[in-house]
A and B are shown apart, each in its own frame.
Chain A
Amino acid sequence: MNVTFTVNDESVRIDVEPRRTLADALRDNCDLTGTHLGCEHGVCGACTVLVDGEPVRACLMFAVQAEGCAITTVEGLQHDGALHPLQEAFVDHHGLQCGFCTPGMLLTAVHLLEHNPSPDRRTIREAMSGNICRCTGYQSIVDAVEAAAQRYPPGP
């Protein structure tokens, strides 16, 4: 089936089997390998992307369902070579070790801060609770999101 959607503001038209997940389509049809696949059944959160601004597990959505949607992946966070404030905060606060979960963590955090620019640590933990990290023990991830919130650009 032919599907047309935008990824990081670029229009994409791909031909996929209906059973191809959005995550696989992003990686294999769009060559955007920043979206990682951990468990492939909706538990780990590594493949989280934004679909029309909402966080979605890309392994639980078929690419054919994304017709006409606007998708943001981790590749779309940087602008003109400058890292997103959340990415900078993850670097500064050691919010990653192996980095496998990081794309999903970042997009979940982007959605959080866009809806709640000054969350407390409890809110951050709750919002990030669907993303599993096996390295950091989470403290540094919460630190990073909290720090990013303090320098996050004011909303529209």
Chain B
Amino acid sequence: MKPAAFDYVRAGSVEETVSVLAEAAGDAKILAGGQSLVPMMALRLARPTVLVDINRIPDLDAVRRTDGAVEVGALVRHRDLTDQTEHPLLAEAARWIGHTAIRTRGTVAGSIAHADPAAELPVVALATGATATVIGPRGTRIVAADDLFVGPLMTTLADEDLVTAVRFPLPSRWGFAEFARRHGDFALVTAVTAELDDAVRIVLGGIGPVPRRATAAEAVLAAGGTAGDAADAAAQEIDPTGDLHGSAAFRRAIAAEMVRRALAGAGIGQGRA
């Protein structure tokens, strides 16, 4: 249960981070909050030869309200999200992440880049159409959440890329629902709905290798269907796998209920009074 030996670099700047990552050619990892990486190293599931610690890089810890969105820097912790009021959906989602001592250290950008299939923030990112600012050896680019997640713990980011900020658009209406065996555990199912520019997105997490938009359920709503109809459609369009935490049928049933609750929280598809 001890990590293997590695070289430690305390980066002073984004440029230094990217250059060390590029030099290591895939053997280096970025150390931010460390709440996922360090357990993986302790279990020897990850064995980087170089760790680039970005915690001392200045100016990466801001939460900024921009035009219609909230942008969070690479060193913004989950706790900073629960404490802010600019983006209520982010504040609610962050309350569901781990426990106090994990939220103290764990970072928002780290959660997005780590892409755990049961994590909350990738689901929020996809639901709000978030974008990541990514700096690599060839400069800065913007990557949409829609183009980010490709598999469990796998993204389209390159080994030498650093996510310096994530921009979460502010939805006009939103809902969040999660089911876990115990509060603080990874989700069996997370459902997030967000209304942006009059289009409603419904995204499910925990039911497959990546967060997934329930496009059939979105279409049901767009055609005037109720939240219940949309929830049923969502349960039908996903293909959950069973494991020791719950069977596929159980996850499907929970997914429908979480979609129903998320839509109720958003006040979407509730029918005419």
B51 interface residue (CB < 8 Å to A)? yes
Q: Is the CB of A19 within 8 A of B104?
A: no
B interface size (C-beta, 8 A) = 30
Smallest CB separation, A111 vs chain B (Å) = 7
The count of A-to-B residue pairs whose CB atoms sit within 8 angstroms is 85
Stretch at the interface among A50-58, A70-78, A90-98: A50-58
B25 interface residue (CB < 8 Å to A)? no
Question: How many angstroms between the C-alpha atoms of A43 and B2 in the bound complex?
Answer: 15
Smallest CB separation, B120 vs chain A (Å) = 16
Q: Is the CB of B101 within 8 A of A61?
A: no
Q: Given A18, A24, A57, which contacts B102 in the complex, CB threshold below 8 Å? A: A57
Q: Is the CB of B8 within 8 A of A40?
A: no
B141 interface residue (CB < 8 Å to A)? no
**Which A residues lie within 8 Å of B57 (CB)?**
none
CB within 8 Å for A130 and B6 given contacts A56-B101, A61-B105, A108-B100: no
**Which B residues lie within 8 Å of A48 (CB)?**
101
CB within 8 Å for A18 and B42 given contacts A42-B102, A57-B101: no
Q: Is the CB of B38 within 8 A of A42?
A: yes
CB within 8 Å for A60 and B34 given contacts A40-B42, A55-B100, A65-B55: yes
Q: Is the CB of A60 within 8 A of B5?
A: no
Q: Given A18, A43, A55, A65, which contacts B104 in the complex, CB threshold below 8 Å? A: A55
Question: How many angstroms between the C-alpha atoms of A24 and B1 in the bound complex?
Answer: 12
**Which B residues lie within 8 Å of A39 (CB)?**
1
Q: Is the CB of A19 within 8 A of B2?
A: yes
B68 interface residue (CB < 8 Å to A)? no
Annotate A64-91 by CB proximity to B: 1 below 8 A, 0 otherwise. 1101000000000000000000000000
Residue of A nearest to B45 (CB): A41
Residue of A nearest to B37 (CB): A60
Question: How many angstroms between the C-alpha atoms of A48 and B10 in the bound complex?
Answer: 24
Smallest CB separation, A41 vs chain B (Å) = 4
A120 interface residue (CB < 8 Å to B)? no
**Which A residues lie within 8 Å of B183 (CB)?**
126, 129
Residue of A nearest to B9 (CB): A18
**Which A residues lie within 8 Å of B99 (CB)?**
45, 129-131
Q: Which of A83-121 contact B (CB under 8 A)?
A: 108, 111-112
Annotate B1-37 by CB proximity to A: 1 below 8 A, 0 otherwise. 1111111101000000000000000000001001100
B39 interface residue (CB < 8 Å to A)? yes
Question: How many angstroms between the C-alpha atoms of A117 and B10 in the bound complex?
Answer: 37
**Which A residues lie within 8 Å of B102 (CB)?**
42, 57, 130
Q: Given B3, B39, B55, which contacts A42 in the complex, CB threshold below 8 Å? A: B39
Q: Is the CB of B5 within 8 A of A17?
A: yes
Question: How many angstroms between the C-alpha atoms of A70 and B146 in the bound complex?
Answer: 41
**Which B residues lie within 8 Å of A19 (CB)?**
2-6
Smallest CB separation, B265 vs chain A (Å) = 20
For the A-B complex with A41-B38, A55-B100, A56-B101 known, give 6 more contacts whose Cβ atoms are closer than 8 Å. A41-B42, A54-B104, A57-B101, A60-B38, A62-B8, A112-B100
Interface residues of A (CB under 8 A from B): 1, 17-19, 21, 24, 39-43, 45, 48, 54-57, 59-62, 64-65, 67, 108, 111-112, 126-127, 129-131
Between-chain CB contacts (< 8 Å), 27 pairs: A18-B7, A18-B8, A19-B3, A19-B4, A19-B5, A19-B6, A21-B2, A21-B3, A24-B2, A41-B39, A41-B43, A42-B35, A42-B102, A43-B39, A57-B101, A57-B102, A60-B35, A60-B105, A61-B105, A62-B31, A62-B38, A129-B182, A129-B183, A130-B100, A130-B101, A130-B102, A131-B99
